[in-house]
Amino acid sequence: MTNALKVKNVLGQENLRANIIIPNVDDDNGDGIPDGIAADMIGAADEEMLQVRVKSRVVLPDGAVVRVAIAEPWTRFARAFIRESSSGGFQLIHGPVEVSSDEAKRNGVVIGIEANDFADAERPRALDLKVRFETKEGRLLHEGSFKFNVAPFLVSCCLDPVDSVHVVKTKITEQFVSELAPLVRAAGAELKIFDEPALPNHDMWMQDAVEIGYATDGERVMHVALHGNRGRKLDDLFAERFLGKDFGVIQKGNYRGKSAEWIDWFGNLEASPPVRVNGQEFRKGRIYVGTQGERSMHPDVIKFLEAQGAQSPVLWIDTSWLVIGHVDETVSWVPSKVGTPYRMLIPSPRLAVEILKKAEKDAPGGILNRGTKREGDKPGEYERPVAEALNDKDLMAAQEFVQKKLDAVRRALQDGLGVADDDIIEIPVLFNSSPKEFRGRYYAETTNMANCLLIGSDVIVPDPLGPMVNGKDVLLQAVKDRLEPLGCRVRAIDNFYPYHRYGGEVHCGTNSTRRPLVAR
């Protein structure tokens, strides 16, 4: 018996599978309509339909009927079916269904139950099904109710193995995409190139257009995409393409207009590895998001995530000091074969300055953002001598300011996720701000290598194009020196033109469908 519920000796219940319902938000037949809202099912049952066999222990008289009702608040969000003994197919239950007393005695009645959405603020995960046997005149013979749990939507953790990496190919990103392909392949994943003529050139932020998670009953897994709320084409087009068998799509919240630009984007929504905080276990990781004062992730998205009850309460991180303000600009994770199974990566301008000073001493004349100059750049706008940067008082003051902000982020992450000092790795990144735009808010001046794409133990970082000493890029080498002893392989990719110049890096430009490690 997989169902822990006792139905007081009135009805015999035998679950044909565990009593966790995975919402039927995928599309088995590829008609573009999620199964849970598609027309009545005919023939074989959908895998997301949970089946229970209900046996009456009392002989049913001729003409007896069964009535099945889904209790509120799930009534509109779930459907019940009954298996026809003649065909073996399932029919949607609209009203009382006549039951053959012989058949009911032999095999009972098989009820199929299907949800078309996840739990939400007004709808807890518990779903009640009421079953009544009545005479044809409507006199109650037996009744009972059954409880199910709707599987939670879970945000994938970046440490889970990757099946496929998604990236947008436009004129701007095509060179990057061709360089990314062999790196993804070498890491053992498939690169899925989103190549759609209808997409504007700059609609390339794959991380922001969707959050890919999953739902499981402990046995089966459905990949579930949370539709983006950016109000841009990629959000819709990706969702359309993602939908398929075992690939579901849901949307929570909606596009809130320019005022919510960037903050609602899903680079601002991530999940930690499994952690333990003050005795509380987050076995599926904990969700964290960035907040910029009054501005924060769409409340419907937050309510939805918290209603799942598995990766919350959501941890808020102050990203008000960043121009874009996404949480993936401040922290990421790598696996470790040594000690704690993860390390937390956090950018450090302090470390960047230290490394650059040493580099300038060891090999004077080094260049920052080496080789990135393009037509139209102002002098020193991207590429500049290291010495000039180190002598730039405003730039150095910016590093101190940002370091303080990052130290606070680090403390919040440590408090909220229970990460030990020894499990934090600083990644050298210089920050800067513009006197004209977004005053008081900062962006990465050198590439932000904490904004990386993790595939297994391969860490694909944005090439920092830093100064060279003895034939090695000192910024990249600093990251290799820290991650390689943990069993990680660091691969650099030049994303300066397609992403860095526009405020993001390789993590912002990609997304991944991961394979969760499901407990059996």
Closest distance between Ca ion and the C-beta of residue 245, in Å?
Answer: 7
Q: How far is the CB of 487 from Ca ion (least distance, A)?
A: 25
- Site for Ca ion (CB under 5 A): how many residues? 9
Which span (26-34, 116-124, 387-395, 471-479) binds Ca ion, by CB under 5 A?
A: 26-34
Neighbours of 15 (CB within 10 A): 16
Q: How far is the CB of 220 from Ca ion (least distance, A)?
A: 11
Under rule CB under 5 A, residue 235 binds Ca ion = no
CB nearer to Ca ion: pick between 104 and 450: 450
Site residues (CB under 5 A) for Ca ion, limited to 364-383: none
Q: Is 306 in the site for Ca ion (CB under 5 A)?
A: no
Measured distance CA(498)–CA(170) in Å, rounded: 10
In degrees rounded to 5, what are phi and psi of residue 181?
A: -50, -55
What secondary structure does DSSP assign to 134-181, as a single string? Answer: E-TT--EEEEEEEEEEEPPPEEPPTTSPEEEEEEE--TTTHHHHHHHH
Q: Where are the beta strands (DSSP E) in 257-414?
A: 269-271, 275-277, 280-282, 287-292, 295-296, 315-318, 332-335, 342-348, 367-368, 384-385
Q: Which stretch binds Ca ion (CB under 5 A): 43-51, 72-80, 93-101, 420-428?
A: 43-51
| Using rule CB under 5 A, residue 48 touches Ca ion | yes
- The residue behind tokens 């970082």 is 461
Does residue 468 sit in helix, strand or coil? strand
Q: Which of 23, 35, 463, 499 binds Ca ion (CB under 5 A)?
A: 35
CB of 365 to Ca ion, least distance (A): 40
- Can you tell me the distance from the alpha carbon of 382 to that of 277, in angstroms, rounded to the nearest whole number? 41
Contact 145, 128 (CB under 8 A): yes
Is 28 one of the binding residues for Ca ion (CB under 5 A)?
yes
Cβ atoms within 10 Å of 518's Cβ, excluding its own: 12
Which positions from 144 through 183 interact with Ca ion, judged by CB under 5 A?
none
3 state SS of 229: coil
**Which one among 24, 319, 348, 399 touches Ca ion, defined by CB under 5 A?**
24
Residue nearest to Ca ion (CB): 35
Nearer to Ca ion by C-beta: 56 or 268?
268
311 or 477: CB nearest Ca ion: 311
Q: Which is nearer to Ca ion, 266 or 321 (CB)?
A: 266
Interface with Ca ion, residue 246, by CB under 5 A: no
Closest CB to Ca ion among residues 288, 431: 288
Given the rule CB under 5 A, which of 40-48, 126-134, 228-236, 494-502 is the region that contacts Ca ion?
40-48
- Among 312, 311, 222, 212, smallest CA distance to 266 is for 212
Size of the chain, expressed as the number of residues it contains: 520
Burial class of residue 62, CB neighbours in 10 A (0-12, 13-18, 19+): exposed
Closest CB 50 distance from Ca ion, rounded Å: 12
Q: Give min distance, CB of 378 to Ca ion, in A.
A: 33
Cis peptide before 313 (omega within 30 of 0): yes
CA distance 454 to 447: 16
Cα separation, 115 vs 78, in Å, equals: 4
Whether 159 and 165 have beta carbons less than 8 Å apart is answered as no
Q: What's the distance, CA 258 to chain centroid?
A: 23
Residue closer to Ca ion by CB (options 305, 493) is 305
Stretch that binds Ca ion, among 19-27, 163-171, 231-239, 393-401 (CB under 5 A): 19-27
Which lies closer to Ca ion via its Cβ, residue 26 or residue 426? 26
Restricting to residues 269-288, which ones interact with Ca ion according to CB under 5 A? 269-270
Contact call for residue 46 and Ca ion (CB under 5 A): yes
Region of 231-239, 264-272, 348-356, 412-420 interacting with Ca ion (CB under 5 A): 264-272
Please, what is the minimum distance in Å from the beta carbon of residue 247 to Ca ion? 10
C-beta atoms surrounding 344 within 10 Å: 23
Q: Report the C-alpha gap between 165 and 515 in whole angstroms.
A: 12
Residue in 133, 266, 288, 304 binding Ca ion, rule: CB under 5 A: 266
First-to-last CA distance in the chain? 16
Among 29-37, 276-284, 367-375, 496-504, the segment contacting Ca ion (CB under 5 A): 29-37
Residues near Ca ion, by CB under 5 A: 24, 26, 28, 35, 46, 48, 266, 269-270
